[in-house]
Structure 1
Amino acid sequence: MAKLMPEYEYLKETKLLPTKLQYHRDSVKFEVSGEIPVLSVLLPRNPKLKLVFKHSDKIIDLGWLELNKGVSSYTYKSSYSFVYKPWMDTAILELQFFQGKKESDLPYEVKILARGVITSPLLAKVGKAQANEPIPAVGMYIPTGLLDVDLMQSKSFSFYFSPGESEFSPSLKSNREEIEALQRFLIANPSIESFKITGIQSPEREEGRDSRLGNDRAQALSQYLLANKIILDSSRMDVTSRWNDWFDFRLLLREYTDLSTSQRDTYYDILLNGDPYESQREALSRLASFPKVSRALYPRLRVAKLEVSARPVQGLNAQESQRLQKALAGDGLNSELSMLDWALAGETSPRLEDKDKIYIKMTELFRTALPYNNLAVVKMRQAQRSLIVTERDSLLLRAEVLLRQAERIEASPYILHNLGQILVLKGEYWEAYKKLSDATTLTRREDFLKINESLRGALDIIRGDYKLATLRFDYEYSEPKDFFNKGLAYYMAKDYANATLFFEESVFARRDYGYGFYGLAMVAAASNQKEVALIHLTKAIDSNEVLYQKALVDPIFEELRSSQEFFEIFRKGE
């Protein structure tokens, strides 16, 4: 009877450090070590070890490992580094053991050390258009100064309710002040993009134990705003509620100053452990500081939150618009429109095609940086919409030429930012980073820095400076991509509490975006919460085809792939 051999006779003690291959600063670096046992005087015979990293049609031959013979074993330890390529996402790192006097192409024993490469930093959103995803707006127009039409204004307002009540009281001092602030905001920004009202209820006993209260509060606020003509159009209003959810409590906890760092970490450990809501409530109630914290924060959860996104509206009057159309049809020299009129017309035109015509004409009439820069932004955004690679590359090249012309006329942070964004789209991250850094030094405008620094932060993630990346996002955001990038920075820095918070904010900003759920799945997998990871991963792949394909091969979820439940969530979408 043949003797049954163990799965690995000679490669059992091989170790890989780190245990999974990871992308870091454009490279993959790791160490392979171990020992080959000496079984007898004759075995193994002439041992050799070879390491290869291979795909179906590509291979990196990493060569032979040096073996050091001892009394009871051969030992080996070697370090490797190579530049990451996209095909490596599904490649296999394989250690091959050869022995015998004769050379052989077939190894005696083979051990797969790793499958694929963890490329979480490359999830950072830097403006690249992906199939089946909304086209991201890239580039920054130089504004006229009369309005910030390219920059959406977003603001949140909180309206309070009595314990357990859903009747809205506009006479309450805090609500009256919020209504006045909302009216001032809408006067300054009358072009409404969206309203979102979220009804929230506190965990207090007076607030009840069902989900109706939060929804009733949201509906009550909505009806008041419409009835009093503070909001005129209900079609852009999204009314929702949250119940049995610690998200808003965690937001308040982040700003609460009467806890030490270790005490706050204890709260986050409970709130992020994946346990059911009631179990977390019981765990919180056992904390010595909780009575004081709950007294301070619970009343602030008896609210309906209103989030408004709007733009200022300003442009040419009817007579000036007629002059503009005649000027566009002719040579424009005697249009009686000033340079500012032309710039305002371009700024307020909603269609790229119209902006294109206006800025082209402006480059003929005025030698200033504004039309060259703004025309370049038009070309960049047209490139984002092109499905033809050659056309997209041509538009980006045209945009870069225009920006170089603008740069020769005037030093501007907008021009440097746009050059940096083009370099990002071309994958030249280091050169892009230098442009964006130079742009930051030229202005202190917060609306500019908010966009420029968020892109720098995304590049910090890709470049491996994770702690620095977390500092870049010190601005109020409303876009899901910015919340996701901020969460990703904290995730890569292994600060899972803050990562969870901002991934959740990405989800709340837009549930069908997908990336926030994927981030939450990564945190759950890192915390060994397999069931929670599967729940979030299901939502991520249901909303995004790119994430569907990535999840199938991402080494982060390698342990999950050994379960039947993992493949069930993919079958649902087939």
Structure 2
Amino acid sequence: MLDQLFKKKPVLLLFILFPLLCGSIMMPETDFLEDSQVIPGKLEFIRDSVRFEVTGTIPIESVLSPKNPKVNILFKSSENSLLFEELELTKNVSYYSYSKEFVLAYEPWMEGAFLEVQFFQGKKAQEEPYQKKVLARGVITTPLLAKVGKVNFDEPIPQVGLFISTGVMDTDLSRSKEFLIKFDAGSSSIKMNSANAQVIADLKNFLTENSSVLSFKITGVQSPENAEGSSSKLGMDRAEAVNKLLKESNITIRDSLIEVTSRWNDWFDFRLLLREYEKISTQRKDQFYAVLLDEADYQTQAQGLRKITGFNQVAGDLFPSLRAAKIEVVAKPLPGLNQAQSLVLQKALEQSTASSELDMADWAIAGETTPRLEDKAKIYSKMTELFRSVIPYNNLAVVKMRLAQRTLDQETKDLLWKEANDLLYQAAKIDTNPYVLHNQGQIMVLQGKTWEAYKKLSDASVLTRNEDFLKYNESLRGALDILRGDYKLATLRFDYDYTEPKEFFNKGLAYYLSKDFSNASLSFEESVMAGRNYGYGFYGLALIAAQSGQAEVALLQLDRAIHASELLYQKALVDPIFEELRSSEEFFQIFRPATSEKED
């Protein structure tokens, strides 16, 4: 019956037999790239290059398989690609083998590139590979996270360059003074007699000379006399009356600085007056102090004082001064030149003169205390005409460096760097100065001349033991040590007390790259505490969590990092360190809110 069926429908016979025939005569396709691998398994930036080795074998199944074998390596991204020379194949009994080491000068496009091995066989002119396999995706560029002063568009502009300071901004110029407004016995009404009027005039003069007020306290006090009452209300009323008088006298102090209070049943103010009282002997004063310092209550001390010979005379002289409100001010002058000096300075800036009534210290103080870079430039530029000194050349160069930080136009930036370098060259001709060397090194860093910069910074550190200078110079050296691959050495550079999140981050990065994850974690946490909106500290903590296999923690820290920085957002998407995390839905979930926010 089957014979009849197949005779009538031969196509049906072919349909049934075809799978069986195929199973007996067709071999499964050979995976010629199965053994192909890259060492290390993830490409990594080290000392300005990417180094790796590609190895593998190609099986030989018969004398005809494979025919004209060829292996190529392709390194490709959406922006660029490198196709390397054909790998040399060594023929063995049952396989071909290949192995080659590669050293590539790192370029930014490589961070998101993939490394692919391609196998060709058959016709020699064949263009499309018979098989291909991705060996690695991306390049680990963690050292390039080191903060060296470069500007990123979504981050605060880093401060670069070190001014040579006069020290005026760091000097504690604060001074304190007391002013006493007196009242009649039992009264809280102020009489503007000549004495009180003079107090207000003296207070105005003090605040004119010291216009930066640090604290301002008004304390109402009252004497132990019966006429002064038996409660603290009088003292507070006096304090409030003085506060009102000051406002009526156009003495304006920020409310947040003013403290209004009172003292009652307290011998503190009497003790202060007694210290300057000269109508009794030192021995008699000691008797008073013995009572005032015995820590008894107010009434017990009052009884003890009255028993001392001469108390009535002392009370008669000192108690009237306790019917008062005391104004205690702590203030300092604004840094910089006074009004007369400022007028002379302005005149000198407007004229083409080679001399000045102000000395170099005055000019340096003016430049240091002027907030705007444009004004600093005018002052330091004029100083180069008036004085042969490192200070104006160095400081004008720093102004140029900071102006370069503010422009996005590379041509303008390059021009400002050139002008700054020219000024630093002139400064170096005058004297060998660590600040000049540091600034020359900083410009080289921004220009990508890492190795030349390191030499300048190293020379600068040798010239001074100034702690503040070394703190900044060594931190920049440490960042360069990271870029140069000297991670252990880099950890030694950050042995200073920092406040900036970027310094803590660089310190953590040095520890992380030297495999000291405990200290790295501490430093990254300090970076987070110093600036929660900075983002890089969170990224560092994500790196450590990913390294230790803590996926949930890594995702949590990464979420915080990418929402703080667009650069970190883009980097996390290609960073090979997070390659395993990218296979999870949770990884891409943390990016979705950020995407929707950008679309809004």
TM-score higher than 0.5 here? yes
**Structure 1 residue 505 corresponds to structure 2 residue 517:** no
How much does 1:551 deviate? 1.1
* Change beyond 3 A, Cα 1:423–1:73: same
Q: Which has the larger radius of gyration?
A: 2
Question: Among residues 304, 314, 329, which one is paired with 2:350 in the alignment?
Answer: 329
- The C-alpha deviation readout for 1:96-146, integer Å capped at 9, x for no partner, is 011125431111110011112111111100001110100011000111244
- The match for 1:406 is 427
Q: SS in structure 1 opposite 2:140? A: coil
Q: Give the equivalent residue in structure 1 for 2:592.
A: 571
Pair 1:332–1:8, CA change in 2 (3 A): farther
Aligned 8 A contact 1:490 1:498 in 2: yes
Partner amino acid, structure 2, of 1:518: Y
Structure 1 position 320, deviation (Å):
1.8
Conserved 8 A contact 1:326-1:332: no
- CA distance in structure 2 between the aligned counterparts of 1:499 and 1:34, rounded to whole angstroms: 37
Paired letter, 1:142:
I
Is residue 96 of structure 2 the alignment partner of residue 74 of structure 1? Answer: yes
CA distance in 2, matches of 1:27, 1:234: 57
Hey, what's the Cα distance between the residues in 2 that align with 1:399 and 1:375? 7
Q: 2:83 aligns with which of 61, 66, 90?
A: 61
Question: Is 1:426 aligned to residue 450 of structure 2?
Answer: no
**1:14 match:** 36
Whichever residue aligns with residue 486 of structure 1, its letter is K
**In the alignment, is residue 472 of structure 1 matched against residue 493 of structure 2?**
yes
Q: For 1:338 and 1:386, how far apart are their aligned partners in 2?
A: 34
Distance 1:564 1:51 in 2: 32
What's the secondary structure of 1:320's corresponding residue?
helix
Aligned match of 1:128? 150
- Contact 1:147–1:312 under 8 Å retained in 2: no
Q: Does 1:142 align with 2:164?
A: yes
Q: Give the structure 1 partner of residue 478 of structure 2.
A: 457
Q: Is the 8 A contact 1:191 1:313 kept in 2?
A: no
What percent of counterpart residues are identical?
62
Conserved 8 A contact 1:46-1:101: yes
One-letter amino acid matched to 1:43: S
Output one character per residue of 1:462-506: Cα deviation in whole Å (capped at 9) or x when no partner.
011111111111111000000000000111111111111101110
- Cα gap change, 1:234/1:462 in structure 2, threshold over 3 Å: closer, same or farther? farther
| Distance (Å, rounded) in 2 between the aligned partners of 1:8 and 1:329 | 85
Work out the CA distance in 2 between the residues paired with 1:147 and 1:350: 12
Q: Among residues 299, 314, 328, which one is paired with 2:335 in the alignment?
A: 314
Equivalent position amino acid for 1:454 in 2: S
Equivalent residue, structure 2, for 1:307:
none
Residue 512 (structure 2) aligned to one of 491, 504, 529: 491
Distance between the aligned counterparts of 2:372 and 2:575, measured in 1? Answer: 39
Shift of 1:7: 9.2
- Within 5 Å, which residues of 2 pair with 1:341-352? 341-352=362-373
Report SS of the residue matched to 1:450: helix
Whether the 8 Å contact between 2:58 and 2:95 is mirrored in structure 1 is: yes
Q: Tell me if 1:84 matches 2:70.
A: no
Cα distance 1:105–1:24, how it changes in 2: closer, same or farther (>3 A)? Answer: same
* Distance of 2:167 and 2:333 partners within structure 1: 12
Is there any run of 5+ residues in structure 2 with no aligned partner, and where? 1-18, 172-211, 215-253, 258-331, 596-600
**Alpha-carbon distance in 1 for matches of 2:580, 2:91:** 35
Partners of 1:467 and 1:410 in 2: CA distance: 34
CA distance in 1, matches of 2:558, 2:409: 32
Question: Do the aligned residues in 1 keep the contact of 2:354 with 2:385 (CA within 8 Å)?
Answer: no
Cα distance in 2 for residues equivalent to 1:434 and 1:441: 11
Relative to structure 1, the CA distance from residue 233 to residue 95 in structure 2 (aligned partners, 3 Å threshold; closer, same or farther) is: farther
Matching residue's letter, 2:151: A
The alignment's C-alpha RMSD in Å is 2.3
Given that 1:8 and 1:109 are in contact with CA atoms closer than 8 Å, whether structure 2 keeps it comes out as no
The answer for the alignment partner of 1:248 in structure 2 is: none
Q: Return the TM-score normalized by structure 1.
A: 0.70
SS of 1:360's partner is: helix
Q: Which amino acid aligns with 2:38?
A: L
Q: How does 1:262-273 map to 2 (within 5 A)?
A: none
Which residue, out of 105, 112, 121, partners 1:99? 121
Letter in 2 for 1:110: K
Instruction: Report the equivalent of 2:457.
Output: 436
Asked if residue 530 in structure 1 is aligned to residue 551 in structure 2, the reply is: yes
Does residue 1:367 correspond to 2:415, yes or no?
A: no
Q: Is the 8 A contact 1:49 1:97 kept in 2?
A: yes
* SS class of match (2:56): strand
Measured in 1, the distance between the counterparts of 2:117 and 2:386 equals 67
Cα distance change of structure 1 residues 139 and 565 upon mapping to structure 2, 3 Å threshold: same
Task: Report the equivalent of 1:355.
Answer: 376
3-state SS in 2 of match to 1:111: strand
The offset of 1:69, in angstroms, is 2.2
For 1:153-192, what aligned pairs fall within 5 Å after superposition?
none
Tell me, yes or no, if structure 1 residue 391 matches structure 2 residue 384: no
* Separation in 2, partners of 1:341, 1:56: 58
| Cα deviation 1:129-179 (Å, max 9, x = unaligned) | 110100011000111244449xxxxxxxxxxxxxxxxxxxxxxxxxxxxxx
Q: Matched residues in 1 for 2:39 and 2:124: separation?
A: 32
61, 64, 69: which one pairs with 1:39? 61
User: Against the structure 1 CA distance between its residues 7 and 381, is the aligned structure 2 distance closer, same or farther, given a 3 Å change threshold?
Assistant: farther
Letter in 2 for 1:132: D
Deviation at 1:89, TM superposition (A): 1.4
Check conservation: 2:79, 2:109, Cα contact below 8 A: no
Does the CA-based 8 Å contact 2:348-2:356 persist in structure 1?
A: yes
Paired letter, 2:39: L
Q: For each residue in 1:548-572, what CA deviation from the matched residue of structure 2 results, as whole angstroms up to 9, or x when unmatched?
A: 1111111111111111111111111
Partner of 1:116: 138
Q: Structure 1, residues 496-526: CA drift from partner, whole Å, max 9, x if none?
A: 1111110111000000000101111111111
Give the 3 Å change call, closer, same or farther, for CA 233–334 of structure 1 in structure 2: farther
8 Å CA contact retained: 1:52, 1:63: no
Residue 372 of structure 1 aligns to a residue whose secondary structure is helix
Measured after TM superposition, the shift of residue 58 of structure 1 is 2.3
SS at structure 2 position matched to 1:144:
coil
Residue 321 of structure 1: how far off its partner (Å): 2.0
SS in 1 for 2:166: coil
2:356, 2:386 within 8 Å by CA — same for their partners in 1? no
Residue of structure 1 equivalent to 2:299: none
Match for 2:131: what amino acid?
A: E
Structure 1: stretches of 5+ with no match in the other structure? 150-189, 193-231, 236-310
> Take 2:125 and 2:428, find their aligned partners in 1: how far apart are those partners?
63
Matched residue, 1:24: 46
How far did residue 37 of structure 1 move? Answer: 2.2
* Amino acid in structure 2 at the alignment position of 1:474: D
Query: Which residue of structure 2 lines up, in the alignment, with residue 378 of structure 1?
Result: 399
SS in 1 for 2:591: helix
- Displacement of 1:332 in angstroms is 5.5
2:561 matched to 1:540?
yes
Aligned equivalents of 1:26, 1:8: Cα separation in 2: 39
State the SS of the aligned residue for 2:397. helix
